[in-house]
Structure 1
C-alpha cells in the first residue's frame, strides 16, 4: 500500500479570484490523474478555471508533468500520491484539496484492467485488485465527496462524475468480465447515490468510455489491443482522452445542472 502524501510545492501565485477578500472558487478532485483520461480531464478542467487536487498511485514523474501543465493554465493545484482503495489515502487527498478551497467536484477516474483473458484463467489476486480499484475506490471517493459537498454536512454542494466503461453493459467476455462487473457496480452506485444526494446540492453522474487510446491496455499486457479490435466500433476509430474529458467537464458544470443519475456513453456507437 502506498502511503498518501501531499505535494508541498507552493511557489505558484494564486490567480486573481483567490486574492484576499474574494471568495474562494471550488476545487475539483481528480483521481488517476497521472495518465490517460485522468490527465486529459485535469488539463481540460484547468483550462476551464478549476483549481485541482490530482490523485495518483505511484508515477511521481508523470504526476509532476500533469501538475506543471495544469498550473501553467493559471490555476492552483496539488498532486497527492495514494491509493483509492485506502480510506486514509482518500481522506488525505480530500484534505489537500480543502487546503486550496471548498471541494465542489470529484472525478473518480482511477482504474485498471490488469489482465486480459477468460475469468477462469485470471488469478484471484488480480480479480480482487481490479474489483477494489474500479469499484471500492470509486465508492470510497464518492463517500468522502458526499461528506464534504453535501449541504446536510455543511458543504456548498457540487458534482461527482465517475468514469465507468462501456464494458459495464457489453460484458467483455474473454477479456475482463471482472472489470466489466466492477464498472456495472459503478453505474449502480451513480443511480443510487444521485437519488440519495439530489436534495443536498450534489449531482452524481458517470461517463462510460469505449475503446480509448490510453496506456491501460499496455499495462494489462496487450499494447496492440486497440488496433486488433477497432473494427468493433461503429464509428470506425478509437476515442481519444480529450473527447472523454470534454464529456466529464460538461457533467461537472452548470450546463448539466438538471442532470443527475445519468451514465453518458462516450464510445463511438458501442
Structure 2
C-alpha cells in the first residue's frame, strides 16, 4: 500500500482507552487524525506509536461536545488530509454514578451533549465528506456504544445507558439511510472493559467486582474492542451494516 493510497480514519476520543487502542491497531493500514480532550502527553505517545507503525498521525485537542471543537477537528482533517474514509465515534463520558432521582438535569445535559449530540454531529460531517450523494467515495462509520444500552445501568448510570441507547438507534437508522450511498454504519457494544472509565466514574474496583457475573469470568481489554472496530471498518465486513456487535464476554 503506497502512502498516497492509505485510507484516512478519524477517531474521536483517541488519546486513551479504547480509542487509543483503535488508533494503534488502525495505524497498520490507515493514516489518522484523532481527538483528545485533556492529556496531551498521553495523546502524543499514542500518536508516536501510530507513526512507528507507519501511519501519518495527527493528535488534536478538541472537545467533541463543543461545536467549536468539532469544527476545528474537521477543519484540520480537510487541511491535513483532504479526504475521509472512516469515522470511529469513541469520545464519550459516563457522568457520575447515582440513581435517576438523585441526578441533576446538568448531568443528563453534559452526558447527552457528548455521547449523543457529539456523535450525531460528527456523523453529519463525515457523511458530507464520504457519501456518494455528496460526491464522496463511500466509507464506514463505527459508533462505540455499550452493553449498558440494553442492561440499563440501573443504580449506577441510567443517564449513560440511555445515551448509548440513543447511539444504538442512531446506528440502525443511519445505516438504512446511507445504505445506497456507499457508507456502512455499525456499532460495537463493549461490556465490562478494563479501562479508566470506571475509575473516572468513581468506581475503580468495578471490573474486579463484576467480573464473576460475566460468563467468560473476566473483564475485556481495550485491544479486544479495537479489533472488533477494525473488523467493522474493513472490507471483510463489506456486507455488514446496521449491526450492534456485543464485545462483552457473553454479558
> Scaled by the length of structure 1, what TM-score is found?
0.90
Partner of 1:17: 2
Alpha-carbon distance in structure 1 between the residues aligned to 2:75 and 2:236 = 28
Instruction: Name the SS of the counterpart of 2:128 in structure 1.
Output: helix
User: Which of the residues 44, 47, 51 maps onto 2:31?
Assistant: 51
User: Post-superposition shift, 1:75?
Assistant: 0.8
Quote how far apart the aligned CAs of 1:213 are. Answer: 0.5
The structure 1 residue matched to 2:161, chosen from 170, 180, 184, is 180
Match of 1:126, SS?
Answer: helix
Pick aligned residue for 1:65 from 33, 38, 45: 45
The corresponding residue for 2:71 is: 91
8 Å contact kept, 1:24–1:101: no
Aligned to 1:262, which of 240, 243, 248? Answer: 243
1:193 matched to 2:174: yes
Structural mapping, 1:93-172, within 5 Å:
93-98=73-78, 99-172=80-153
CA root-mean-square deviation? 1.2
For the residues of structure 1 that align with 2:164 and 2:48, how far apart are their CA atoms? Answer: 31
Q: What is the match of residue 58 of structure 2? A: 78
Per mean C-alpha deviation after superposition, the further-off stretch among 125-134 and 140-149 is 125-134
Q: For the Cα contact (< 8 Å) 2:191–2:247, is it kept in 1?
A: yes
Aligned 8 A contact 1:102 1:156 in 2: no
**Counterpart check, 1:246 vs 2:227:** yes
Structure 1 moving runs of 4+ over 3 Å: none
| Cα distance per residue 1:14-56 (max 9 Å; x no partner) | xx823xxxx4432100011011000001101012x11000111
Deviation per CA, 1:144-201: give whole Å up to 9, x if none: 1111110111111100000000000010100101110000000000011111111111
Query: Aligned to 1:161, what secondary structure does the other structure show?
Result: strand
Segments of 5+ residues of structure 1 without an aligned counterpart are 1-15
**Per-residue deviation, residues 56-84 of structure 1 (Å, max 9, x unmatched):** 11111111111111111111011111111
Counterpart contact for 2:95–2:160, Cα < 8 Å: no
SS in structure 1 opposite 2:108?
Answer: helix
Partner of 2:93: helix, strand, or coil?
coil
The match for 1:31 is: 12
Question: Which of 172, 185, 189 pairs up with 1:204?
Answer: 185
Question: What is the total number of aligned residue pairs between the two structures?
Answer: 250
Structure 2: gaps (5+ residues): none
Once the two structures are superposed, residues 185-232 of structure 1 have per-residue CA deviations (whole angstroms, 9 ceiling, x without a partner) of: 000000111111111110000000000010011111111111111122
Q: CA deviation at 1:133?
A: 1.1
